[in-house]
Structure 1
Amino acid sequence: MDQKGKKGREILNSLLHNEATVGIVLLLCAIAAVSMASFPQTRWFGELWGKDMGIIIGDFSLKMSLRHWINDALMAIFFFVVGLEIKAEMLAGHLSSIKKAALPVLAAAGGMVVPALIYSVFNIGDPAAERGWGIPMATDIAFAIGIISILGSRVPVGLKIFLAALAVVDDLGAIIVLAIFYPSHALHTGWMILAAATFIILFIFNRRKLRNRWLYILPGFFLWYFVYQSGIHATVAGVLLSMVIPSRGKSGELKDSMLKSFEHGMKPYVNFLVMPLFALANAGVALDFSMFSGGTIPGVSLGIFFGLLVGKPAGIFILSWLGVKMKFASLPEGIRWSQVVAMGILGGIGFTMSIFINSLAFTDPALTDMGKMSILIASASAAIIGLAVLRMTCPSEKESYDVKNI
């Protein structure tokens, strides 16, 4: 019985840390959100996320809609875990040296700049629409890895590592864009000073090698509140906190550090609570294609669609190719350029981060809904086309044998 229980726990643990499982759960949540938003009978579902909730302690009160609690508070936890992953990769992973980081950094840069340029071209002269240039810059790693897992072992390990490293750099770029270009409201210097002071205290704790996790968790709540009040988007607090979490354990190794403990312990909650709630609260848009009628397709839709579906693979391929040709970087062993193109197409699955930036970019509900629809259509198209191209460029052993013997 104990053996069965142990095996069951191992299976559950494997599922909770499996990116493919996360992708499936997010897909189901997105379908549920769109379905609930498309029928008058389930209008209550959309209204639910707009209901106010708050914390009241004496004279202190903090009230936001349920959607804002998810987007500003829970997503700060998401960005905290993303920040931990980036830090781990930079210390002892695929970004730990210039040689290792060169290709994913170049690919991610191309995959961010080209989509943003394509979006901007379609929306020049429209101030409201122009704010959405950051939407097609993002890649949803959970969905992309989920798609790759469908093909199993036929996908080279080097290609999976390349996509994972690219997505980490992509997340870092999205965080920088979010912090600089998409403040939640007007900036307030006083609150920014308090946030900076809290960060400095946490940094001192780190430098003095203090390893009591509560010394980071409790000030972390204050850091989040100060950043929220400062006008910088509150999720940036999660990234700042991740930067000061100790990355060395008592043995001096990363593997038994507080960083790895937080990352491993919190990732299942982020994957199966935070991200699904985000998808349910933000992916809901009524399937109303009349917004695309009238003979012309809006620039927002064209910019997002072509930015994700064309700009992503083009940017990833072009800068990767230039980097290799100019000897700044090298292609992983066993990887072909056709497979890099396939990876680039899968990079066009924006979903989580794209929807998040979409919610910050537009104040007009019509533009927000148009953006959501375009993200969903472009991401679905990228997933289908990317899977097809990847399958063609990564033949199974039997298919490879047949081709060689023709």
Structure 2
Amino acid sequence: MSAPRKAEFARFLRTETVGGAILLIAAAIALIYANSPWGASYLSLRDFTVGPQSLHLDLTLGEWAQDGLLAVFFFVAGLELKRELVIGELADRRRARLPVLAAVGGVVAPALIALAIGWGTPGIDQAWAIPIATDIAFALGVLALTGSRLPAGARVFLLSLAVVDDLIAILVIAAVFTSTISVLWLLGALACLVLYAYAQHRRITSPWLYVPLALVAWWAMHQAGVHATLAGVAMGLLTRVRPDPGEDEAPAARLEHRVQPWSAGVCVPLFAFFAAGVPLDSSALHAIVDDRIALGIIAGLLIGKTVGIFGTSWLAIRTGFAERPRKLGNRDMFALSVLGGIGFTVSLLVAELALENVGDGSEVDTAKAAVLLTSMVASLVGSALLIRRGRAHDRRAAAELDDLDDDTYATDDADGDKRTGG
């Protein structure tokens, strides 16, 4: 493939609609494969072990996708968060209030609902965290596909909300899913991060330093007992986002342009492929109805996310503590809040972490099935609301244009009367 075609393909993968579509296709293939007559071979592939045992990296392909490939996704999320915090919407405290508060509301409400419904069920002490995160790629992909006629503030609000939401989820993963920590390995990972930050400060740009450093930091974090994806988000947050004088773009922008296509086109779809292959036959659907954790996930994502995001936003705007995004009304905010119920990537990851040692393993599949079905429902309902809101904005824009034309004609007539003495 020639250089121009490679650049065009990378730009194609950066578009949110394409990233969300690839994610959905990978999940659909996994579901079809796992529920086909060849489902046993899917499980064999997912559980196939590869990697050097001497480094304690003899992991299954599913674990490599969960611990390794998602680290790339979290690195891109870290870059986006750093950009938003330093030069984006979250840099202005007044404008940052609304998405930050909405994100907090969209985390607390689902967690409380999941905890209340699943109270007393084995595993709920960690499973309450499954519905707290919104999938950035999936939600923005749905917005780009069905909400393109909404004002630009809709995307800014949803992106900022999802970035803060993911940061909270990352902190929850670090706090809740880290049982034993090897201090020496953790110090080694921190040393790598300090060296990374120093190299950024010294304006070093060589990948021959950064790539080995990132790999060692990831390995040390994995060995420390902390979820290795945190190494990715930490490096993203340590990357410089302001360009120097004479510099075309900052390292964060360069890295995002180079890494994001790999994240959207390879890493996240492969994770979805290995994570989304769960049974969806009648017995699996019956298990969801009988499983209080699964019901808590469904209610948390569909009801908790919507109520938490919209309710917190409405209250903050009503009290004057935050400003509504320009040209967005309450119905627009409600439609965007429904998209918050798309839990996918991080929710699937948390389901693996929270329930891997509970019962016979079927609990993980049931929780994943609840996440997948609810995310699809949230995307369909959100899409319908966004399309309806898009039509409303089109009608408003057409009415404003007609009013402008009438004013123009009236002004022209008045000027003509003056010129003719009428």
Instruction: Compute the TM-score of the two structures, normalised by the length of structure 2.
Output: 0.88
Equivalent residue, structure 1, for 2:391: 395
Partner deviation per Cα, 1:279-327 (whole Å, 9 max, x = no partner):
1100001113324548963111110101000000100011111211222
Which residue identity lines up with residue 380 of structure 2 in the other structure? I
What is the rounded CA distance, in whole Å, between the counterparts of 2:189 and 2:394 in structure 1? 58
Equivalent residue, structure 2, for 1:374: 370
Q: CA deviation at 1:60?
A: 4.8
Equivalent residue, structure 1, for 2:382: 386
Match of 1:50 among 47, 50, 72: 47
Equivalent residue, structure 2, for 1:286: 279
What is the rounded CA distance, in whole Å, between the counterparts of 2:67 and 2:29 in structure 1? 22
CA RMSD, Structure 1 to Structure 2 (Å): 2.4
Match of 2:310 among 311, 317, 338: 317
Equivalent residue, structure 1, for 2:28: 31
Gap change, CA 1:60 and 1:154, over 3 Å in 2: closer
Equivalent residue, structure 2, for 1:251: 245
Is 1:211 the counterpart of 2:211? The answer is no
CA contact (8 A) 1:339 1:390 kept: yes
What is the rounded CA distance, in whole Å, between the counterparts of 2:34 and 2:287 in structure 1? 23
Equivalent residue, structure 2, for 1:15: 12
Match of 1:127 among 93, 108, 122: 122
Write out aligned runs for 1:221-260 (5 A): 221-251=215-245, 256-260=249-253
CA contact (8 A) 2:34 2:42 kept: yes
Equivalent residue, structure 1, for 2:70: 75
Q: CA deviation at 1:128?
A: 1.6
Structure number with greater Rg is: 2
Other structure's SS at 2:57 match: strand
Partner deviation per Cα, 1:181-202 (whole Å, 9 max, x = no partner):
112x522122112222222233
Q: CA deviation at 1:204?
A: 2.7
Gap change, CA 1:91 and 1:213, over 3 Å in 2: farther
What is the rounded CA distance, in whole Å, between the counterparts of 1:9 and 1:95 in structure 2? 33
Partner deviation per Cα, 1:203-227 (whole Å, 9 max, x = no partner):
3333334333433322221111111
CA contact (8 A) 2:147 2:387 kept: no
Other structure's SS at 1:145 match: helix
Match of 1:359 among 352, 356, 365: 352
Q: CA deviation at 1:252?
A: 6.9
Other structure's SS at 1:394 match: helix
What is the rounded CA distance, in whole Å, between the counterparts of 2:388 and 2:317 in structure 1? 23
Q: CA deviation at 1:42?
A: 3.5
Which residue identity lines up with residue 62 of structure 1 in the other structure? L
Gap change, CA 1:162 and 1:361, over 3 Å in 2: same
CA contact (8 A) 1:163 1:343 kept: yes
Which residue identity lines up with residue 93 of structure 2 in the other structure? I
Mean Cα deviation higher: 256-265 or 288-297? 288-297
Partner deviation per Cα, 1:104-142 (whole Å, 9 max, x = no partner):
101111111100000000111123233211111111122
Equivalent residue, structure 2, for 1:191: 185
What is the rounded CA distance, in whole Å, between the counterparts of 2:177 and 2:28 in structure 1? 28
What is the rounded CA distance, in whole Å, between the counterparts of 1:294 and 1:233 in structure 2? 29
Q: CA deviation at 1:247?
A: 2.8
Equivalent residue, structure 2, for 1:99: 94
CA contact (8 A) 1:317 1:340 kept: yes
Mean Cα deviation higher: 244-253 or 279-288? 244-253
Q: CA deviation at 1:102?
A: 0.7
What is the rounded CA distance, in whole Å, between the counterparts of 2:213 and 2:144 in structure 1? 39
What is the rounded CA distance, in whole Å, between the counterparts of 2:319 and 2:288 in structure 1? 45
What is the rounded CA distance, in whole Å, between the counterparts of 2:160 and 2:55 in structure 1? 43
What is the rounded CA distance, in whole Å, between the counterparts of 2:249 and 2:14 in structure 1? 18
Gap change, CA 1:316 and 1:291, over 3 Å in 2: same
What is the rounded CA distance, in whole Å, between the counterparts of 1:101 and 1:289 in structure 2? 45
Q: CA deviation at 1:403?
A: 8.9
Identity of aligned residues (%): 36
Other structure's SS at 1:357 match: helix
Match of 1:110 among 102, 105, 129: 105
Q: Give the gaps of 5 or more residues in structure 2.
A: 403-422
Q: CA deviation at 1:13?
A: 4.2
Aligned residues: 397
Match of 1:160 among 149, 155, 161: 155
Which residue identity lines up with residue 251 of structure 1 in the other structure? P
